[in-house]
Amino acid sequence: MSKWYEKAVFYHMYPLGMTGAPKENNVQQTEHRFGELSDWLPHLQDIGCTAIYIGPLFESSTHGYDTRDYRLVDRRLGDNEDFKEFVKKAHDLGIRIVVDGVFNHTGREFFAFQDIQRNRENSPYRNWYKGINFGWNSAYNDGFSYESWRNCQNLVNLNLYERAVKDYLFDVIRFWIHEFDIDGIRLDCADCLDFDFMKEMRWITGQEKEDFWLMGEVIHGDYARWANDQMLHSVTNYELHKGLYSGHNDHNYFEIAHTIRREFDENGGIYRGRKLYSFVDNHDVERIITKLNNKDHIRSVYTLLYTLPGIPSIYYGSEFGIEGRKEQGSDDSLRPRLLVEECRKNNAHPELTAYIRALGELRKDNEILVQGVYRELLLMNRQYAFARILDGRAVIVAVNNDEAPSEIYVPVPVGAAELTDWVTKEKRAVENGKVKVSLDACGTSILYQE
């Protein structure tokens, strides 16, 4: 039986942008915005999302990743009681909550860094950060230098080899589990974190909650180094993310198929058995509908997101076809304020919302799409078909990135006299081991056995 996170459909919330919170945290009083976020919960349930990845949430100075206080919800969003109530409402609807864990670095307003500023060599926290050098200086004229994330000196790298730092962060994690009943953590910059730190975190969180989920942000590299039985359950599948949009823009399904064959093929895929976190957009990359040269490819993209191996995730608002492009290096347009009722009322892409809702229904309790092995059935530049197979049963998916209709004959990898079209419910006869699939321009087809 699958774990909750293996069969989940995630909804990704970036709350500071989603609620229109001030960009600078210089507010004097707590601003209670979790009511706006709670308003989204019935919508999430409606479109078939069963888990939320929300973050960053820790009290911070600006964009959320420059942490001030790990034990407080950012005052621009609300207080701890507000978030506790949000989690309870989500749980009551059967929706799990996973939060951002920003453990690679802190902001400069974090208490340990400020103590070093005041006491220098005499600070008991002088070993909490990497590369502290009291003989050099920083861009902020601190009178000492330090390592920072990608040379952003407002993000000071923690020293995760220091026992006191690890104990502090593990206590923070226990606090969030006990205080808020969270179900998992998405580790920011997981590709920068110490492996032993993540191994110990896996053990500790497993003691606190047997089904606690750890997912890491990893862009490049061998994902198996992070996603394994000793460290994290999953990582972000950026390799697939790239293929899903560029494979359509270039009319080249070979790119997507090569990625999946390399990762998950039943006969040699290097990540077989792992459930990577799949997405088509997030708070750091442009919105999928903005990136597609032909917007009509959007259905095929989401079809692949939900049916290829992986744990699918929807970035807030993208189910309504919200656009978002990086402008002059700014991510602001990727993280707009959205109110769910306004999105529903002014929905310019109701057919997309309805299709994502239908995909959520398809995914619901469908063990074939969760645990089924992947098998490529047909591959051309503009047409692609594959199966997910479990216990002698299969779901067959075909997609067409051509602007013209296509008719293809797809091998059927299991013994079946006929298959049922998921959308039309029409029966399709299997003849000589193949089924005829008629695809609309930029169309998709999903067939299954009754």
What CATH number has the domain bearing residue 345? 3.20.20.80
Q: Which of 217, 254, 252, 257 is nearest to 238 (CA)?
A: 217
Flag whether 279 is in a domain. yes
* Cα end-to-end span (Å), the chain: 21
Name the 3-class secondary structure at 116. Answer: helix
Whether omega for the bond prior to residue 56 falls within 30 degrees of 0, making it cis, is: yes
Residue 329 has pLDDT above 90, yes or no: no
336 in the same domain as 221? yes
Mean pLDDT along residues 129-147: 97
Which tokens in the block code for residue 45?
């349930």
Mean pLDDT along residues 66-85: 98
| Numbers of helices and strands, H then E, in the chain | 14, 20
Residue 441 has pLDDT above 90, yes or no: yes
172 in the same domain as 214? yes
Residues 26 and 109: their CA atoms lie apart, in Å, by 12
The last residue of one of the domains, among 313, 343, 369, is 369
Per residue in 154-175, pLDDT (tens digit) is: 999 999 999 999 999 999 999 9
392 in the same domain as 312? no
Residue 52 has pLDDT above 90, yes or no: yes
Residues 190 and 236: their CA atoms lie apart, in Å, by 10
Distances (CA, A) of 386 to 92, 308, 419: 37, 9, 14
383 in the same domain as 356? no
Residue 218: the pLDDT is: 98
381 in the same domain as 279? no
The last residue of one of the domains, among 325, 350, 369, is 369
Flag whether 1 is in a domain. no
Name the 3-class secondary structure at 210. Answer: coil
349 in the same domain as 224? yes
DSSP state of 114: H
In this structure, the strands spanning 51-54 and 96-101 are parallel
**What value, to the nearest 5°, has the Cα angle with vertex 260 and ends 217 and 46?**
65
Per residue in 331-354, pLDDT (tens digit) is: 999 999 999 999 999 999 999 999
* Dihedral sign from CA coordinates of 226, 232, 236, 240: positive
In this structure, the strands spanning 418-421 and 444-448 are antiparallel
230: left (phi over 0), alpha (psi -120 to 50) or beta: alpha
Residue 176: the pLDDT is: 98
Residue 32: the pLDDT is: 98
The answer to pTM > 0.85 is yes
Query: How sure is the predictor about 450, in pLDDT bands with cuts at 50, 70 and 90?
Result: confident
Residue 25: the pLDDT is: 97
99 in the same domain as 36? yes
Name the 3-class secondary structure at 6. Answer: coil
Flag whether 51 is in a domain. yes
Residues 46 and 40: their CA atoms lie apart, in Å, by 10
Residue 1 has pLDDT above 90, yes or no: no
Per residue in 83-129, pLDDT (tens digit) is: 999 999 999 999 999 999 999 999 999 999 999 999 999 999 999 99
Residues 308 and 232: their CA atoms lie apart, in Å, by 21
Beta bridge partners of 407: 438
Residue 291 has pLDDT above 90, yes or no: yes
Flag whether 138 is in a domain. no
Asked whether the beta carbons of 143 and 134 are under 8 A apart, the reply is yes
Flag whether 423 is in a domain. yes
Contacts of residue 239, defined as CB under 8 A and 6 or more positions apart, other chains included, come to 223, 259, 263
Residue 328: the pLDDT is: 85
386 in the same domain as 364? no
pLDDT-above-70 percentage for the chain: 100
Flag whether 5 is in a domain. no
Residue 311: the pLDDT is: 98
Flag whether 144 is in a domain. no
Residues 254 and 133: their CA atoms lie apart, in Å, by 50
321 in the same domain as 289? yes
The last residue of one of the domains, among 369, 403, 422, is 369
Of how many residues is the chain composed? 450
Mean pLDDT along residues 410-430: 95
**What are the b/e assignments for 208-230, b being 16+ CB within 10 Å?**
eeeebbbbbbbeeeebeebbeee
387 in the same domain as 339? no
Per residue in 211-241, pLDDT (tens digit) is: 999 999 999 999 999 999 999 999 999 999 9
Residues 207 and 211: their CA atoms lie apart, in Å, by 9
Beta bridge partners of 227: 232
Residue 290: the pLDDT is: 98
Q: How would you class 424 by CB atoms within 10 Å of its CB: exposed for 0-12, middle for 13-18, buried for 19 or more?
A: exposed
Residues 441 and 450: their CA atoms lie apart, in Å, by 27
Residue 37 has pLDDT above 90, yes or no: yes
Mean pLDDT, the chain, integer: 97
Q: How many domains does the chain have?
A: 2
198 in the same domain as 215? yes
Residue 336: the pLDDT is: 98
211 in the same domain as 94? yes
Residue 201: the pLDDT is: 98
- C-alpha R_g of the chain: 23
Flag whether 380 is in a domain. yes
CATH number for position 377:
2.60.40.1180
Note down the domain range covering 254: 10-118+156-369
